[in-house]
Amino acid sequence: MDPKKPHSDPSAPGGPPPPSGLSATQPLGPPPGATGNLGYPVQGNLGYPVQPNLGYPMQPGMVPPSAASGPVPVAAVEEEEEFMAVEAVGGEVFHPPALNHFEPARPSNPLIQAWRKVGGGSLALSIAIHVGILVVGGAIVVSTQMIQKQVDFLPGGGTQQGAEASAEMQHKVQQKKRTTLNKSMPMKKIVSTSQNSAVTLPDAPPDFLDVPDVGAMLGGGSLSGAGFGKAGAGSGFGTGMGMGSMQGFVSLPPSMRSRCSPQERLKKLAETGGSAECERAVSASLEWLKGQQNEDGSWGRSGGKRDKAAMTGLALLCYLGRCETPDSPFYGDNVMKGILYLVELSKKNPHGMIAEDIFNNGSTYEHGIATYALGEMYTLARLGSKELPGMRAAFEKGVKLIIDNQNTRGSWTYGGKEAGMTTAYTKDSKGEDLSVAGWQFQALKAAKNSGLKIQGLDAAIKKCTEYVLSKQTKDGGFGKTNRDDHYNQWSLTGAGSLALQTMSKGNTAALKKAMGFLRGFLEAEPLDWNKNCNLYCWYYYTQTFFQAGGDDWKFYNQQFLPQILAAQQPDGSFKKGRPNWPAGDAADPLYRQTLCTLQLEVYYRYLKVADRDEQSFFDR
C-alpha cells in the first residue's frame, strides 16, 4: 500500500469497485408480497418517492428480485408484537429493516455530544489511568520513606542519618545517666579480649570503660548505629562508622568525647564562640601538615636529629585533637607512621627516652611532648582496629621516665649529661623550670586519662601541683616578677593556670587570682599578631581561658580568634608573626602550624570544667 494514498473504504463515496462476482446492479428489495431473505420481516410502505433503477450493488445475503421464496418465520423481539409483510412497489427503494427493535432515543445532552466529539471518552480513560499511576507511585514513595525511617533504628545498622542520630542520642543519654548510675550502683567493668589491636586493656580498666545499659544497646549501641566508629557513628559491637571503630564496650572519657563526633564538634563550636570557619581552618591546616611529613614518619628537620620527636608529637596531637586516628580515611596512614616513628625511638633509647639525641637539653621538652601524644593515641586506639605494636610499652616507659626524673621540688630540669645522668633529665637537681614542667604535666594528664595503673603517677601529680602553687606571685601570676627575666609571669601564667585546672585545682582561690592577673594583662596589651605574637604563650592562654569559660573566655576569644584566622594563608599554613619575647616566637613554620592548629581545636578538644561530669580531668 502506498502510504501517501489515503486508505480506501468500500462503503465510502469514491471507494473501490465492488467485488467481481457482484458487478451487475440489481433492484434492491424482495419481490412484492415476499419477505426478505435476511430472516426478518419487511416493514410497511415507507412512502419514499420512487426512482428508476439506482443500480445499487447486490449485498451478500440479499436475494435477487427474480428469486421468490416463501416467507421465513422470524423470532419476535417481543412476544406479543406482530410483524407484517410489506409489499414492495415497483421502482421504489427498499430499505432493509433493523435487526432489533429500538424505542425512539431521547436526544443527547449537548454537553455530552460536544464531549464525545472531542474524544472525551478516551481522554477520561487516559486521565483515570494516569491518576491511578500517580496514586500507586505516591504510595510507593510514602511507604519507602516510612521504611527508611524505620530502618534507621533497626538492628544491624541503617542509614547514615539514622546512625548519626542514634550515636548522638546514645551520647546524651549516657552523659545524663552517668552521675545517677555512679550514685545508685557500682559501675560494671569488663576487659577487652579483642585480638584486633596490639594495644591491650589494663587488668583494672579505668572508670570510663563501662558497660552500656541494656536500653542503649537495643536502641542504638551494640545493635544499631551508636558508638564511636571509623568515620561517623556506627555499631557498638564491631567496626561501625564513627571516630575509630568501636571494639566491645570501650568509650572515650567524658572530657574527650566531643572531639570525635562531627555533630558534637559543630555543636561545641557554636556553643563556645567558634564557627564553621574554625573547622575549615583546621582541615586546611591538617592537609598542609600531611604534606610536611618525612619518609620515616616523622615531622621536623629531616636533615638532622634536633626537634623531630617534638615536632612529630605536636603534629600527632593536631590530628588526634580532631580524632584523626590510624582508622581515619584521610590521615590514617600519616598518623600510623608518626606513631610508629615515636615507638621506634623509645625502643632504641635507654629508659624509653623519646628523642633522637637523648642528651640534648631540648630532649626533655621532646620527651614530654612525644609521651603526651602517645598517651592520647593510647586512649583513642582502643576505639580502632589497627594494630599499633609496642605503643603501650613505649607510653608506659615514657611516663615512668618522667615520674622517675621529677626532682624534690616537684619540677623537672635538664643538664643530665653534665651531671652524669643517662639522659638529659637531672632528677637530683634542686632547681626548677616551669616551662619544662608544662609539657611533663600534660603527659601525666594523658596517663591519668588512659586509666593505666602506673606506679607513682598519683604522687607525681600531687608533687607537681604543689610546685606550681609555689610559683605563684603576689600579683597572681606564675613565674618571675621581673619582666626582663627569661621565664616571667607574663609568659608562663597560662602554663601555671592550665596545670591547676588540669590537676584538680580548678576552683581554688589561686586560680581565680591567676585569671585576674591574666585578664588585666591582656586588657592592657591585647593580642596582636604584628606586635606580640608569642604563640608559645598563646597556646597556654587559649586553653586556660577556655577552661575558665564564662565572661573570661568571651573576652579572650574576641581577641584571639580573629588573629589566628586572619593569619592563615591560602595553602593552609600560617604566616609568621612578630613576637616581643624571643622565647615565645615560633619562627619554625611547622612549630607555628601546630601551635595555631591546637588553639583552633580548643573548642572541642577537651570539655570545659563546667561541661564535664567531674570537676577536672583527674576527679573520678
Are 228 and 260 in contact by the 8 Å Cβ rule? The answer is: yes
Question: Which residues are CB-contacts of 299 (< 8 A; sequence separation ≥ 6)?
Answer: 289, 292, 293, 308, 311, 312, 314, 315, 338, 590
Per-residue pLDDT at 284: 98
Torsional sign, CA 455, 461, 462, 464: positive
pLDDT level of residue 94 (50, 70, 90 thresholds): low
Cell numbers of 179, please? 552521675
Q: Of 206, 204, 210, 203, give the one whose Cα is nearest residue 189.
A: 210
Between 30-34, 187-191, 387-391, the lowest mean confidence (pLDDT) is in: 187-191
> How far is it, in rounded angstroms, from Cα 577 to Cα 567?
8
**Burial class, 535, CB count within 10 angstroms (exposed 0-12 / middle 13-18 / buried 19+):** buried
Helix axes 363-381, 391-404, angle to 10 degrees: 140
Q: Is the pLDDT of residue 566 over 70?
A: yes
Per-residue pLDDT at 316: 98
DSSP 583: G
Q: Is the pLDDT of residue 232 over 60?
A: no
Q: Of 573, 598, 576, give the one whose Cα is nearest residue 285.
A: 573
pLDDT level of residue 333 (50, 70, 90 thresholds): very high
3-state secondary structure of 20: helix
What is the longest distance spanned by two Cα atoms in the chain? 152
Per-residue pLDDT at 341: 97
> How far is it, in rounded angstroms, from Cα 553 to Cα 544?
9
State if pTM tops 0.75: no
Q: Is the pLDDT of residue 365 over 70?
A: yes
Q: Is the pLDDT of residue 8 over 50?
A: no
Q: Is the pLDDT of residue 404 over 50?
A: yes
Are 170 and 249 in contact by the 8 Å Cβ rule? The answer is: no
Between the alpha carbon of residue 380 and those of residues 216, 228, 503, 507, 614, the distances in Å are: 22, 10, 21, 29, 20
Q: Is the pLDDT of residue 567 over 60?
A: yes
Cell numbers of 400, please? 615512668
- Bridge partners for 425 per DSSP: 414
Mean pLDDT of 184-205: 36
Question: Which residues are CB-contacts of 210 (< 8 A; sequence separation ≥ 6)?
Answer: 187, 188, 189, 249, 251
Q: Of 24, 80, 36, give the one whose Cα is nearest residue 62.
A: 36
pLDDT level of residue 245 (50, 70, 90 thresholds): very low
Per-residue pLDDT at 91: 55
- Cα-to-chain-centroid distance, residue 538: 31
Cell numbers of 562, please? 580573629
